[in-house]
């Protein structure tokens, strides 16, 4: 199918982009277009004006500092995946991006576009919640910074107002010594996850000192697994897995069901991913 007729503009500044969105009946930001264009082609989304942000100066910047990595809204997933400095400070960026689609998609798709799109099965929104990322947006009333957990509200639903543009996302550095694991079950490599996990685990003397766990493809938005985090604290690998599995299942009590999997399957897989991530962290002692 072809999309319904729409207008296209290519502003050169964020304020021009905001003005164009504010003036439009149904304006949408175009970043990499890897999710938006198929949705338009299938007429799943109604767009009167496409506001292409690729010419906005500075939006393709990736800034690596000891405290974190800031990714501009036009920076592609491939660019961030290839950045050794970014991977050293926030290892989760590289390990998450390896799971995102295929090379062709990552060459156009953006990190910020994935977060703004808020697909419940996407890796990057879950990583953003796991590391406490901050999303910066600009709109008609100025700029604001939103914590990832407050930005991602549900399936394809964020805290963005209609005329707001995500300008960048800041991912804080991983704690020293932490191991970041992004693991998932999908039907084929490169497909969206049926169920996935981002885990940031601090092993000390072969024991889990702390764990930050976020599930994706399980609920409408990235799901923090607080009971499994508590169950993993002090876990040493040789303990029985059952307490961890039960805790993860309790966290995912509201897991959804669709044509790909039952809710029960998702709960079981999530628990298995948590145990697998903890064993990997205890065995490696260094980020993959
Ligand atoms: C075959 C295929 C497989 C894929 N597999 C995966 C996968 O395994 N994991 C995964 O995570 N993703 C996957 N994707 C999606 C891919 O990662 C997309 O690139 C991403 O979801 C959207 O990024 P984009 O830059 O292309 O955004 P676009 O498609 O341009 O935009 C997506 C949405 O976000 C909004 N948006 C984008 N940028 C901004 C901004 N700066 N401010 C405000 N709103 C904005 C748009 O208006 C639109 O509503 C896949 C896509 C395809 C086609």
What tens digit of pLDDT does each residue of 246-267 get?
999 999 999 999 999 999 999 9
User: Does 110 contact ligand 1 (Cβ within 6 A)?
Assistant: yes
Residue 82 has pLDDT above 80, yes or no: yes
Query: pLDDT tens digits, residue range 206-239?
Result: 899 999 999 999 999 999 999 999 999 999 876 6
Q: Give the side-chain half-sphere CA count within 13 A for 207.
A: 6
Using the predicted structure, report yes or no on whether residue 240 has a pLDDT greater than 80. no
d(CA 249, CA 271): 6
What local confidence, expressed as pLDDT, does residue 239 receive?
A: 63
Rounded CA separation 251/239 (Å):
20
Question: Which of the listed residues 33, 37, 117, 158 should we mutate to test ligand 1's pocket, taking the one with most ligand atoms within 8 A of CB?
Answer: 117
Q: Helical H runs in 233-262?
A: 242-251
Closest CA to 49 of 195, 156, 207, 163: 163
Q: Which structure tokens are listed for 60?
A: 């393709």
Kindly tell me if the per-residue pLDDT of 31 is higher than 80.
Answer: yes
Q: Report the pLDDT value the prediction gives residue 189, as an integer from 0 to 100.
A: 82
User: Do 152 and 125 contact (CB within 8 A), yes or no?
Assistant: yes
Matching residue, tokens 């079981």? 268
Helix or strand (DSSP H, E) at 210: strand 207-216
The CA distance from 160 to 39, in Å, is 19
Residue 97 has φ and ψ, to the nearest 5°, of -65, -25
Provide CATH 3.30.390.50 ranges for the chain. 179-284
> Edge-to-edge, what's the strand order for the sheet holding 49-52?
7-9, 49-52, 27-30
Domain with CATH 3.30.465.10 in the chain: 62-172
**What 3-state DSSP class applies to 159?**
coil
For the stretch 154-200, pLDDT in tens is 999 999 999 999 999 999 999 999 999 999 999 988 889 999 999 99
CA of residue 240 to ligand 1 center, whole Å: 40
Q: What is the CATH number of domain 179-284?
A: 3.30.390.50
Residue 284's pLDDT is 83
Q: Is the CB of 71 under 6 A from ligand 1?
A: no
Contact by Cβ (8 Å): 230, 220: no
Q: For ligand 1, is residue 94 a contact (CB within 6 Å)?
A: no
- DSSP, collapsed to helix, strand or coil, labels residue 218 as coil
125 vs 114: CA distance, rounded Å: 7
CATH 3.30.465.10 for domain 62-172: yes
Kindly state the average pLDDT of the residues 120-124. 97
Neighbour tally for 280: CB within 10 Å: 16
Does residue 285 surpass a pLDDT of 70? no
CA-nearest residue for atom 20, ligand 1, is 114
In this predicted model, what pLDDT tens digit does every residue of 33-57 receive, in sequence order? 999 999 999 999 989 999 999 999 9
- pLDDT of 287 reads 42
Closest CA to 21 of 158, 139, 179, 116: 139
CA of 33 to the centre of ligand 1 (A): 6
pTM reported for the whole predicted model: 0.96
The CATH code belonging to domain 7-52 is: 3.30.43.10
CA dihedral 52, 58, 64, 68 (to 10 degrees): -60
């Amino acid at each position: 199918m072809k999309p319904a007729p729409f207008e296209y503009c290519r502003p050169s500044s964020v304020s021009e982009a905001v003005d164009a969105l504010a003036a439009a009946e149904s304006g949408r930001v175009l970043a990499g277009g890897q999710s938006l264009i198929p949705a338009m082609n299938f007429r799943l989304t109604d767009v009167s004006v496409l506001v292409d942000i690729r010419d906005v100066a500075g939006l393709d910047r990736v800034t690596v500092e000891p405290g974190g990595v800031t990714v501009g809204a036009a920076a592609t997933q491939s660019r961030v995946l290839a950045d050794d400095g970014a991977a050293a400070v926030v290892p989760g960026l590289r390990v998450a991006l390896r799971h995102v689609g295929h090379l062709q998609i990552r060459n156009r798709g953006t990190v910020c576009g994935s977060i703004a799109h808020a697909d419940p099965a996407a890796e990057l929104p879950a990583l953003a919640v796991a590391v406490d990322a901050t999303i910066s947006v600009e709109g008609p009333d100025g700029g604001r910074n939103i914590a990832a957990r407050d930005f991602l509200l549900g399936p394809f639903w964020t805290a963005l107002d209609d005329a707001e543009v995500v300008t960048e996302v800041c991912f804080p550095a991983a704690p020293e010594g932490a191991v970041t694991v992004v693991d998932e079950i999908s039907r084929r490599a490169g497909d969206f996850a049926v169920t996935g996990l981002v885990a940031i685990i601090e092993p000390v003397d072969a024991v889990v000192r702390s764990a930050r766990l976020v599930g994706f493809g399980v609920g409408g938005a990235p799901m923090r697994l607080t009971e499994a985090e508590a169950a993993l604290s002090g876990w040493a690998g040789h303990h029985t897995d059952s307490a961890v599995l039960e805790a993860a299942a309790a966290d995912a009590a509201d897991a959804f069901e669709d044509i790909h999997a039952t809710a029960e399957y998702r709960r079981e897989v999530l628990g298995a991913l948590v145990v697998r991530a903890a064993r990997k962290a205890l065995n490696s002692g260094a980020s993959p």
